[in-house]
Structure 1
């Protein structure tokens, strides 16, 4: 595959005026080489949540509501923080690979481990004190107590996020992330099997479901360690180094801007779930709303594959100093992602009535989910555009701009509209979801305008200045990594 692509690219570069069809074909091959493994990683990883939710949903209604609140509010909060902090790795490794500063990628990976481990530790008290937190938020006592039990089981899972996301971004930047996709898919299959054994056969209940989640979450990480430390990344991994503890402040700064950008996005849904908890028939509302939200997020994981592709392609081309190639890649990636979004929209419209029964045996909850299916379909369609535009921002390193856009679109526009439609307009969960859609629509419009107006030649200069500022000399550095040496 590597040799075939290399020969094709040489042929393409040899043409004086390559046709548009040829350019799109080779750009699509580059995109899918990044996007498909990323999809496997993200869909399988988020599938762990959904499988666990499905098994817990058949244990009881209170555990299902408690799990939905912990996973949607606390874990999404923590995941947003860590994913945002880790996206600095995506920016720096992608641009370093494009600039042929290969040895710096391993150093950036180690720096991200240090920053993210400290960050994860800071967030752990939210899990330890989950019960009193939700009591203060007005949750019923039996649900708050169940939340305290579930949240403690999530602590090992939180520390798995420190490594899983950064390893995936590090390998993705050098076109080696298929191994993570395969490991994550294998972990997903193992998780289904373990959940069935622990919950259905051994009757371990909630403890069995959460044990299966933690075991499965760590499988891809240990596999990633073996791959990196075992010599499959010879140009980018030079071993552990003290240099990882230097220049941490600049990494923290770009990590914080990345974290703000993504946290404002993932907390958006969590706040709406919290609001849903104060509606009439709260247990049904929260359960149905969280089921639809998780389905939307699972499809969002597919779209995140294109986020990763947009990020890597833009970062690589900015690192190489090729602004025109970066712009062309954005057009191809966005078009491909939107086409898939239309396909998923069609499926959701066609099978909307059956969705709820896959996650709950409660007739009322299933029917509530069915009533939200049309809005869910449009959410998944918007995902296809929003993620690519966000990936462009991460690849270019201008996360702080997107953070401001997210703040305005989600919190100034989306949430107020949702609350008004929910309580004043008496639309309940549909009103909340319409508000959420309003914020996303405004975000897509704003990011499209910013991407269209950006000066890409200026972005090339900024990327060069950033990389040269943090560059550490290596004793032996290949002038270029041959694509034939890239192992899937």
Structure 2
């Protein structure tokens, strides 16, 4: 156990603490954010190439990527986030030999989970029709969802490897792997969609190959060059499986309830008048919002690493300092993103479409996009604190109540019963995000960090 961070009592000490903590968090968070942005950009590039094929292919790709791919991403990211807690605390406590065992255990669990997810893609069309999607859009979206299934399954390998590396602050090589795969994806998409004219199937092939390049590249790096944490394949990975499954499921429920929540907006718009324009305009906004989300997924991972490492090392005050600094800085970034969206509200849709009606529809809901960006700047940070502290079960219940008991029904009422359309659906659901964020901030504020550190130290 190391000595804890010094108490802060003056402005000069606060400034020094802020500077030092910012360097630590952003030193971890920025590479993770760049890697996350690169992975997300693979989907965005796919959307852009498909979008120029027409409004129907764009609607199909928007649903395929924002509902089905995000469903998989949320599930596997959540399951893999158990490693953020366990590997982060083990690394902080000096138990480096356990990291490879935890990684293999996560791979086993996520491989089984991947098999259980396949029917969700196979029966995509009846699922979309059952929840009220336009038949033409549902048919094309289901076809595209099947095309991208191989890429979605890569997340079962990708996220555990990423969490393994992040827990040790080994974040530079994954950045190069992700950025290189993105460049490969752009070139391959241009070749298959534009030059060879393969259309949506060609875009999906590029998407799948690029995501698997990331997953296999990170795995090769761990097995070949991370000998401190990776000690080879071990039967110990099959020990204590149920406790690991339980934490993985708690993590998955917590994160899935967050990630799937905004994805349900796309589904709810399916019954609105002129559903194709509604889905397309929302798809463009969700795509832009996703870029900011990837930055804060990086910060989420960084604060989780900082909190779990410091609590594992018996340094509760250092953990508290990290939380305070990154929440304040994240809020400032969110406000900047909102300002940029409002300034360019009439222009950013041009990237995705040349349809003037769709551009106007995007401009009308840009204000809600800006507000979403502010809330999403703080929410992932407090969720990252929860992962670092191992509070996933508690946060899952909070998410369920705020999102699905309050936000979703309120969005439905505003959108359909009060006829506010896509803006009403989105505004209602933002109320759920706002309440969840306030509750988590209150919990973080009331946390006894000394007790949390002693609890982990006694495990």
Normalising TM by the smaller chain, what interval? over 0.9
Give the TM-score normalised by structure 1: 0.90
Alpha-carbon distance in 2 for matches of 1:270, 1:347: 23
Correspondence for 1:300 among 293, 298, 309: 293
Once the two structures are TM-superposed, the CA of residue 363 in structure 1 deviates from its matched residue by 1.5
Alpha-carbon distance in 2 for matches of 1:16, 1:426: 54
Look up the match of 2:435.
442
Deviations 1:407-446 (A, max 9, x none): 1111122112211211232211111111121111111110
Look up the match of 2:78.
84
Once the two structures are TM-superposed, the CA of residue 367 in structure 1 deviates from its matched residue by 0.9
Correspondence for 1:111 among 105, 114, 129: 105
Once the two structures are TM-superposed, the CA of residue 64 in structure 1 deviates from its matched residue by 1.6
Look up the match of 1:254.
247
Q: What SS does the corresponding residue of 1:352 show, helix, strand or coil?
A: coil
1:319 and 2:312 correspond:
yes
Alignment CA distance shift 1:140-1:436 (3 Å): closer
Correspondence for 1:412 among 390, 405, 414: 405
Once the two structures are TM-superposed, the CA of residue 173 in structure 1 deviates from its matched residue by 0.8
Correspondence for 2:172 among 174, 178, 182: 178
Alpha-carbon distance in 2 for matches of 1:148, 1:421: 28
Alpha-carbon distance in 2 for matches of 1:251, 1:459: 20
Correspondence for 1:137 among 131, 138, 142: 131
Look up the match of 1:51.
45
Look up the match of 1:157.
151
Alpha-carbon distance in 1 for matches of 2:122, 2:246: 28
Correspondence for 1:361 among 351, 354, 365: 354
Correspondence for 1:461 among 450, 454, 457: 454
Alignment CA distance shift 1:389-1:286 (3 Å): same
Correspondence for 1:373 among 366, 369, 378: 366
Matched length: 455
Asked if structure 1 preserves the Cα contact closer than 8 Å seen for 2:72 and 2:153, the reply is no
Once the two structures are TM-superposed, the CA of residue 358 in structure 1 deviates from its matched residue by 1.1
Q: What SS does the corresponding residue of 1:59 show, helix, strand or coil?
A: coil
Once the two structures are TM-superposed, the CA of residue 240 in structure 1 deviates from its matched residue by 0.8
1:213 and 2:207 correspond:
yes
Deviations 1:22-77 (A, max 9, x none): 22222111101110111011111111111111111111222221222222222222
Asked if structure 2 preserves the Cα contact closer than 8 Å seen for 1:127 and 1:154, the reply is no
Once the two structures are TM-superposed, the CA of residue 375 in structure 1 deviates from its matched residue by 1.1
**Structure 1: stretches of 5+ with no match in the other structure:** 1-8, 467-488
Alpha-carbon distance in 1 for matches of 2:69, 2:219: 24
1:432 and 2:425 correspond:
yes
Once the two structures are TM-superposed, the CA of residue 461 in structure 1 deviates from its matched residue by 2.5
Alpha-carbon distance in 1 for matches of 2:129, 2:433: 31
**Structure 2: stretches of 5+ with no match in the other structure:** none
Look up the match of 2:220.
226
Look up the match of 1:187.
181
RMSD: 1.9
Look up the match of 1:73.
67
Alpha-carbon distance in 2 for matches of 1:125, 1:112: 22
Alpha-carbon distance in 2 for matches of 1:133, 1:32: 41
Alpha-carbon distance in 1 for matches of 2:9, 2:322: 20
Look up the match of 1:334.
327
Deviations 1:272-312 (A, max 9, x none): 21111110000110111121112112211111111111100
